[in-house]
């Protein structure tokens, strides 16, 4: 019996260690990471063409979920050449000095209507602040579609400085939305 005790302890430690980690997912082509704001009262939207995301999620282990997202700020595309030239510049993202935005969150909580929430830290232009996400995971066979929504104050991160700091010209609130197609790793 004594010879089985170390083996049983090893098996139990592997089972419990596995249970404490959420399933890892990879982002598939066709996913989008977008944003929307307003300019002189008219809405505009765009997306980031280059980003990476490490996502761990398991509905049975909500506290173990984890997000680590990096966004290439120079890849912002609003389908407006004038705006797209300004966004990477010093008054907005200052992509030469701060080429990436970085978001990290751990722990999800179930919310109403099949949604989840998490709060993490967004680092943008050298400023780090908490940002809350609303998440909706929709299984599609073995894959998952993850819809993400967030709202943030661009001025809290120094985005849109100089002549663009006036919120009557460019609204303070920017919404971030993503539709990520995920497959198990």
Q: Which two tokens stand for residue 101?
A: 């935005």
Asked whether residue 11 is assigned to any structural domain, the reply reads no
Asked whether residue 152 is assigned to any structural domain, the reply reads yes
With left for phi above 0 and alpha for psi between -120 and 50, is residue 126 left, alpha or beta? Answer: left
Asked whether residue 103 is assigned to any structural domain, the reply reads yes
Asked whether residue 134 is assigned to any structural domain, the reply reads yes
Asked whether residue 31 is assigned to any structural domain, the reply reads yes
Asked whether residue 14 is assigned to any structural domain, the reply reads no
Residues in the chain: 185
Q: Which domain holds residue 59?
A: 22-184
Asked whether residue 155 is assigned to any structural domain, the reply reads yes
**H-state helical runs in the chain:** 4-19, 81-86
For residue 171, the domain's CATH number is: 2.40.128.110
Domain count within the chain: 1
pLDDT in tens, 146-180: 999 999 999 999 999 888 999 999 999 999 999 99
pLDDT in tens, 33-50: 999 999 999 999 999 999
Distance, CA of 102 to CA of 124 (rounded, Å): 7
Q: Is the dihedral of CA 18, 21, 23, 25 positive or negative?
A: negative
pLDDT number for residue 12: 32
pLDDT along the chain (185 residues), means of 10: 39 37 93 97 97 94 96 98 96 97 97 94 98 95 96 97 91 97 96
């Amino acid at each position: 019996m004594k010879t089985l005790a170390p083996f049983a302890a090893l098996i139990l430690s592997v089972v419990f260690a596995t249970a404490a980690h959420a399933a890892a997912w990879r982002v598939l082509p066709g996913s989008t990471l977008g944003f929307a704001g307003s300019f002189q009262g008219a809405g505009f939207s765009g997306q980031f063409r280059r980003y990476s995301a490490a996502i761990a999620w398991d509905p049975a282990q909500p506290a173990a979920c984890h997000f680590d997202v990096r966004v290439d700020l120079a890849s912002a595309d609003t389908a407006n050449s004038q705006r797209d030239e300004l966004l990477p510049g010093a008054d907005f993202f200052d992509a030469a000095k701060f080429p990436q935005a970085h978001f990290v969150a751990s722990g999800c909580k179930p919310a109403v209507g099949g949604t989840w929430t998490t709060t993490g830290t967004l680092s943008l232009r050298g400023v780090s602040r908490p940002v809350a996400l609303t998440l909706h995971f929709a299984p599609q066979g073995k894959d998952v579609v993850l819809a993400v929504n967030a709202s943030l104050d661009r001025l809290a991160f120094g985005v849109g400085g100089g002549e663009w700091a006036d919120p009557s010209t460019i609204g303070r609130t920017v919404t971030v939305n993503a539709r990520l197609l995920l497959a198990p790793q």
